[in-house]
Amino acid sequence: MLKQEFLTQLRAGLEAASIEDIDECIEFYDEMISDRVEAGMNEESAVAQMESIDSIISNYKAEKPVTKLIMDKVQKSHDEAKGKGKGVLWVVLAIIGFPIWLPLLITILALLFALYIVLWCIVVAVFCVLVAFGLMSLAGLFIFIMMFTGVVPWPLGIFSLGAALFLGGLTVLLSRPIWALCKAIAGMIPYIFKKIKKSIA
């Protein structure tokens, strides 16, 4: 048997055994045979030195955890069912598993919605702090002006002016970083949800 024939048979065997990284495995045996030929062996002898395809597959399976093998098998059967239009089986399974997956799905969706709301709340809260500083500064200025009418005693007016200047300065100083922070959080929200979607898929 020549290399190409051996590799074709090996591919068929690996596919039948639901082994996922077939290309990598084929590359490995291709390299092994080529190295033997390079060392002076003829192609047929090099192939003859390889183990049987059954033995290769059983050694490969022996290394893999059972859970991974089952997952590969389920994935393969799912893909095959899709390919052959046997989606009915999966529809039946979805209906039978309905009492389990529906509450789980609702819980996950509720959690994601809560996370979405919380993240937007952070943005709004931070923005509100900035607006509050600005408004308090204006209020302080107003009280200071009222001092001249005699309605407000002068110590309170002076204190209000100080507070207005301090809060006004704070508003100006913090406006840029807070705006940047709000933009960053708002920008992160779609990114976080994309990541979650990707990890679920």
Partner 1 sequence: MDAQLRRGILDACVLAVLERGESYGYKLVADISTFIEITESTLYPILKRLESQNMLTVRKAEYSGRLRKYYSITDAGRARIDELLGEWEEIVKVYKYIAEERGEKNA
Where do contacts with partner 1 occur on this chain (CB under 8 A)?
21, 24-25, 27-29, 31-32, 34-36, 38-39, 50-51, 55-56, 59-60, 62-64
Nearer to partner 1, 68 or 194 (CB): 68
Q: Could you tell me if 157 and 143 are in contact, meaning their C-beta atoms sit under 8 angstroms apart?
A: yes
In the block, tokens 């509100």 appear at: 128
Q: How far is the CB of 73 from partner 1 (least distance, A)?
A: 18
Q: How far is the CB of 31 from partner 1 (least distance, A)?
A: 6
DSSP H/E element including 181: helix 154-200
Please count the other Cβ atoms lying within 10 Å of the Cβ belonging to residue 26. 16
Nearer to partner 1, 4 or 59 (CB): 59
The torsion angle over the Cα atoms of residues 151, 155, 158 and 160, rounded to 10 degrees, is: -70
Nearer to partner 1, 5 or 31 (CB): 31
Q: How far is the CB of 45 from partner 1 (least distance, A)?
A: 14
Nearer to partner 1, 43 or 127 (CB): 43
In this structure, what token pair is assigned to residue 132? Answer: 């509050």
